[in-house]
Amino acid sequence: MLQCRPAQEFSFGPRALKEALVSSDPTLRRLYASAFTPAERLFLAEAYNPQRTLFCTLLIHTAFDWLLSRPEAPEDFQTFHASLPPRRQSPARKHIYLQPIDLSEGPAGGALLEYLRDCTEAFFLGLQVRCLPSVAAASIHCSSRPSQDSDRLQLHTDGILSFLKSSKPGDALCVLGLTLSDLYPCEAWSFTFGKFLPGHEVGVCSFARFSGELLQPGPGASEAAPVQAAADGPETPVQDPGQTLCFSALGLAQCCKVTCHELCHLLGLGSCRWLGCIMQGALSLEEALRRPLDLCPICLRKLQHILGFKLIDRYKRVAPEPGPRRAPSNGGRGRRGAGGTKGGRLFSGKDGKYPL
């Protein structure tokens, strides 16, 4: 009989976590004190509180987890700050562009894009998010191959990244391609959720593995996924020219997570190894499901440094409202129904189902 070993903690001590957040550099410590109110600093200090309840310690479930398979030095705020290029944001470059690839712009596909636009505008408070017209993968001339675990084609990421780099709008802070097709970065990899081009602010991510037919959470996958209970609920069909994929509320939350993860990379954030964080890497669907929906305090400080938002303003947009949810009045096809971010409902709709 197969025996499951308990997950092992992967953790840093309070001193290391405090230094990663606040920094040992006097200039960056003064910057920390001036950037956040006392209440905000108290909230962020949960990062190095041994009895913390707001943020989770990382867990290793298998020897193939990303933490062990991709060993690298963790990126603290000081390292992040030193690696930042000259401030790229300007009044003319405040737009995140989402570039659909082979994604239908009909009612269902349009609602998915609107959901993702709302998610990213709340997550990256202060930036405007625009959706570009969908382009056909055939027009990009990227390589493809048969998938190793399905009957669909996989698209090679490099051809897509080259296209996004060459077609990037002049007022774009970054551009992220979105596709329902599975992706692969090289022949040795079976798939990837996303990839970005360092220094060019373009990336691409795939939602193929988050559809109903592939999204089968394994044991432990729900530990950091509060929308897990919706996985068995009604699914939403989204079509592209060659396929129809269905997304439960759990699948839609994963689409939002991978989108925000890649956009954080495009804005300069590295992968996170400090605490449970949306910036953790994921080499499997199970790892992707375990990723939380938001940033740890260390990565939150990085994003706040770039965008300059107030923490309370951002959490008002991304945090769910308490109390019952209101059903959409237009048959579930509203641009900002119960699943949108207006009023603070970012990751779930009425009864946990996103109304497309």
Torsion sign over Cα 185, 261, 94, 340: positive
d(CA 61, CA 24): 32
Torsion sign over Cα 73, 75, 77, 81: positive
Phi, psi torsion values for 82, nearest 5 degrees: -70, -25
Is residue 126 left, alpha or beta, with left meaning phi > 0 and alpha meaning psi from -120 to 50?
left
Burial per residue of 135-167, b for 16 or more beta-carbon CB atoms within 10 angstroms, e otherwise: bebeebebebeebeeeebebbbbbbbbbbbeee
Phi, psi torsion values for 86, nearest 5 degrees: -50, 145
Phi, psi torsion values for 73, nearest 5 degrees: -70, 135
* Cβ atoms within 10 Å, residue 9: 9
| Bridging pattern class, strands 58-60 and 8-10 | antiparallel
Report yes or no: 235 and 248 within 8 Å, Cβ to Cβ. Answer: yes
d(CA 9, CA 154): 35
d(CA 127, CA 266): 13
Q: Which of 75, 121, 201, 262 is catalytic?
A: 262
The answer to whether residue 286 is catalytic is no
CA neighbor of 207 nearest in space, from 271, 265, 240, 254: 254
Q: Which residues pair with 175 in a beta bridge?
A: 97, 202
d(CA 269, CA 75): 9
Q: Which residues are part of the catalytic machinery?
A: 262
